[in-house]
A and B are shown apart, each in its own frame.
Chain A
């Protein structure tokens, strides 16, 4: 009996080991035939899509044996490293500017949208259980300090029936440069002309009021602790932590609460207006469509059009093809919004424009 107890786990362990060996054997042999060595891809950039990317990379490695090493050092770092050609691909939450594109040493950079993210507005108002409603103008006035109290007539008129306290509003924003801030300020700059003129958009902006906290966790921590505070965080973060989320009036006049579906709807609404030759450096904040959530954005993988190394280039294209097909299906499980189906098709078609011949 005792001996049996010992043997069973050993057999199981052996069986597992054998399975692993088989997997890695086939995997490495396939990459060997492709390149003669286990060449893998390296990428660097945005932290926001890191959870879904790392899931993609690990699933893809299991499936094909192609290992992708990704450093989530921030969009800025990703763009810099791609420009210096120290990585095979970059990733960013905001599209590269024309100046940044011109500065890229490896030639033309293509933007491939992968998934969508959104910012939500969260707040701490003890006793208020119904989701608050906001219009873009009211949000802009709160975050620029023109609306100072929760019971301001402009907030009250949007939220009839909710007893708003006569409390000071404390604005909490990100202190670190981030794509989350970019999306939020891009939205306010698009929807509210006075915001564009006074604060503008960027990963770091000069906030007229409020406290700066580091990271989504810093902002939500500060909001949770301080009655009367309001802040913005990523949708995935807010959902996973059960934060109160405000509904926001979109272009069609509907109040929409953030959800994966509403974000995909925003992309679909924006995609309709895209020209056929788009470079996908587009903002989808304040997108048209009745069900569109207005504070949404793509996140991009950045790839050189002319790949120096045909083998690596092929692997990168194969991976992106897989990500835009099978990978998209996994996005929802991690609270990322997938691309609208027809858009994923056109983005995949654009992968064919990548030049794998190695020539410049």
Chain B
């Protein structure tokens, strides 16, 4: 009889503790779920806002905003084809330059580099990602473009006789698709090389040892055992770099020459969608002009979405093939 209250008390306390932990678990779950929901909500909100603002242009201009090359604000013509072309080409040039370089850096750091060199080089490469893009732009104007105009462009065109191909013809002014591609390559490089280095270092030792045990040279070991294993991660890194290149605005605006024309030559100035918006948004008063710029933003949004979807699909197929 006397012991009963104590027992009750004990039981209550245990129950209480269980309740408390159930409550805190629940609260924790709700808080983290709310955090996770912020991002999808934001993405949807941004997409809706852009498409609503872009709608007048889409309904009035239709497909001509993608297919026409005539961007003439005074006449009310808004054809963003050169900007679309420039975004895709400058990003492609950037990847063509950056990918081999970045994978080379990653392979060296993970396979060959002495330990004392690995840290400083890795740090410096990562540091490239922290440089503000306007600094890249200034460097592009004052260092890269003079070198391109005086040395690189004449060398490619005249010394190597690449002027015979449509890619390297025309006068060498400096600001050009090539300059934009090189700047973007430098900016995308740290993303690709950092991710690649991490995935290469994560390849199990057994993978390497097995290849070496079969009599592979070091090169064969890296080519046949290490890189295939890390492929999906490397592709992920490349897509991250591509995302950076597609959206970059400031540095590109400063070196691309801002000319709304489609030219096969990399020496010719070009335009990108992000530059077009950055250049014209602040002084756009006309409703259709504003809406057309929003439409360009919406198209850029869709392109990045498609690029990300392709990246997912690539990573998925590559990892499935490896499993099989």
| Chain A interface residues toward B at CB < 8 A | 73-77, 79-80, 100, 168, 170, 175-179, 199-207, 210-214, 218, 221-222, 225-226
Instruction: List chain A residues, Cβ under 8 A from B71.
Output: 206
Q: Using CB atoms, name the residue of chain B closest to A221.
A: B141
For A204, give its contact among B73, B141, B173, B278 (CB under 8 Å). B73
Task: State whether A200 touches B269 (Cβ < 8 A).
Answer: no
Q: How far is the CA of A346 from the CA of B74 in the complex (A)?
A: 33
Task: State whether B74 touches A206 (Cβ < 8 A).
Answer: yes
Interface size of B by Cβ–Cβ distance < 8 Å? 30
Task: State whether A177 touches B259 (Cβ < 8 A).
Answer: no
Q: Does B146 contact A (CB under 8 A)?
A: yes
- List 6 A–B pairs whose Cβ atoms lie within 8 Å, in order of A's numbering: A76-B283, A176-B283, A205-B74, A211-B259, A214-B253, A226-B173
Most buried by A among B72, B175, B283: B283
In order of increasing CB-CB distance, the 3 nearest A-B pairs are A177-B283, A212-B258, A175-B258
Instruction: List chain A residues, Cβ under 8 A from B173.
Output: 170, 211, 226
**What are the interface flags for B258-271 relative to A under an 8 Å C-beta threshold, 1 for contact and 0 otherwise?**
11100000000100
Task: State whether A77 touches B74 (Cβ < 8 A).
Answer: no
Q: How far is the CA of A100 from the CA of B269 in the complex (A)?
A: 34
Task: State whether B282 touches A176 (Cβ < 8 A).
Answer: yes
| Those of B70-95 within 8 Å (CB) of chain A | 70-75
Q: Using CB atoms, name the residue of chain B closest to A212.
A: B258
Task: State whether B285 touches A175 (Cβ < 8 A).
Answer: no
Q: Using CB atoms, name the residue of chain A closest to B77.
A: A206
Instruction: List chain A residues, Cβ under 8 A from B73.
Output: 177, 202-206
Q: Measured between C-beta atoms, what is the minimum distance from A169 to chain B in Å?
A: 11
For A76, give its contact among B145, B149, B258, B282 (CB under 8 Å). B282
Instruction: List chain B residues, Cβ under 8 A from A214.
Output: 253-254, 258, 279
A176-B280, A200-B74, A204-B280 are known contacts; what are 10 more A-B pairs with Cβ within 8 Å?
A: A73-B282, A79-B285, A170-B173, A175-B279, A177-B282, A202-B73, A204-B74, A206-B72, A212-B257, A214-B279
Q: How far is the CA of A207 from the CA of B279 in the complex (A)?
A: 14
Task: State whether B283 touches A178 (Cβ < 8 A).
Answer: yes
Task: State whether A203 touches B279 (Cβ < 8 A).
Answer: no
Task: State whether B175 touches A222 (Cβ < 8 A).
Answer: yes
For A74, give its contact among B70, B141, B145, B283 (CB under 8 Å). B283
Report if A212-B75 is in contact (Cβ < 8 Å); known contacts: A80-B285, A204-B283: no
Q: Measured between C-beta atoms, what is the minimum distance from B144 to chain A in Å?
A: 11
**What are the interface flags for B171-201 relative to A under an 8 Å C-beta threshold, 1 for contact and 0 otherwise?**
1011100000000000000000000000000
Instruction: List chain A residues, Cβ under 8 A from B269.
Output: 211-212
Task: State whether B285 touches A213 (Cβ < 8 A).
Answer: no
Task: State whether A202 touches B74 (Cβ < 8 A).
Answer: yes
For A225, give its contact among B145, B258, B259 (CB under 8 Å). B145
Q: Using CB atoms, name the residue of chain B closest to A75.
A: B283
Q: How far is the CA of A203 from the CA of B257 in the complex (A)?
A: 18
Task: State whether B75 touches A76 (Cβ < 8 A).
Answer: no
Instruction: List chain B residues, Cβ under 8 A from A175.
Output: 253, 258, 275, 279
Task: State whether A206 touches B70 (Cβ < 8 A).
Answer: yes
Instruction: List chain A residues, Cβ under 8 A from B74.
Output: 199-202, 204-206
Q: Measured between C-beta atoms, what is the minimum distance from A332 to chain B in Å?
A: 27
Instruction: List chain A residues, Cβ under 8 A from B260.
Output: 206
Q: Measured between C-beta atoms, what is the minimum distance from B241 to chain A in Å?
A: 25
Q: How far is the CA of A329 from the CA of B4 in the complex (A)?
A: 96
Q: Using CB atoms, name the residue of chain B closest to A100.
A: B285
Instruction: List chain A residues, Cβ under 8 A from B259.
Output: 207, 210-212
Instruction: List chain A residues, Cβ under 8 A from B283.
Output: 74-77, 176-179, 203-204
Most buried by B among A75, A175, A205: A175
Instruction: List chain A residues, Cβ under 8 A from B285.
Output: 75-76, 79-80, 100
Q: How far is the CA of A336 from the CA of B253 in the complex (A)?
A: 29
For B284, give its contact among A177, A222, A225 (CB under 8 Å). A177
Task: State whether A211 touches B175 (Cβ < 8 A).
Answer: yes
Task: State whether B282 touches A218 (Cβ < 8 A).
Answer: no
Task: State whether A213 touches B258 (Cβ < 8 A).
Answer: yes
Q: How far is the CA of A73 from the CA of B281 in the complex (A)?
A: 10
Q: Measured between C-beta atoms, what is the minimum distance from B271 to chain A in Å?
A: 8
Q: Using CB atoms, name the residue of chain A closest to B282.
A: A74
Task: State whether A77 touches B257 (Cβ < 8 A).
Answer: no
Q: Using CB atoms, name the residue of chain B closest to A215.
A: B254
Instruction: List chain B residues, Cβ under 8 A from A210.
Output: 259
Q: Using CB atoms, name the residue of chain B closest to A73.
A: B282
Q: Measured between C-beta atoms, what is the minimum distance from A113 to chain B in Å?
A: 19
Q: How far is the CA of A77 from the CA of B285 in the complex (A)?
A: 7
Instruction: List chain B residues, Cβ under 8 A from A226.
Output: 149, 173-174
Report if A225-B282 is in contact (Cβ < 8 Å); known contacts: A205-B74, A206-B70: no
Q: Measured between C-beta atoms, what is the minimum distance from B283 to chain A in Å?
A: 3
**What are the interface flags for B135-175 relative to A under an 8 Å C-beta threshold, 1 for contact and 0 otherwise?**
00000011001100100000000000000000000010111
Q: Using CB atoms, name the residue of chain A closest to B260.
A: A206
Q: Measured between C-beta atoms, what is the minimum distance from B200 to chain A in Å?
A: 39
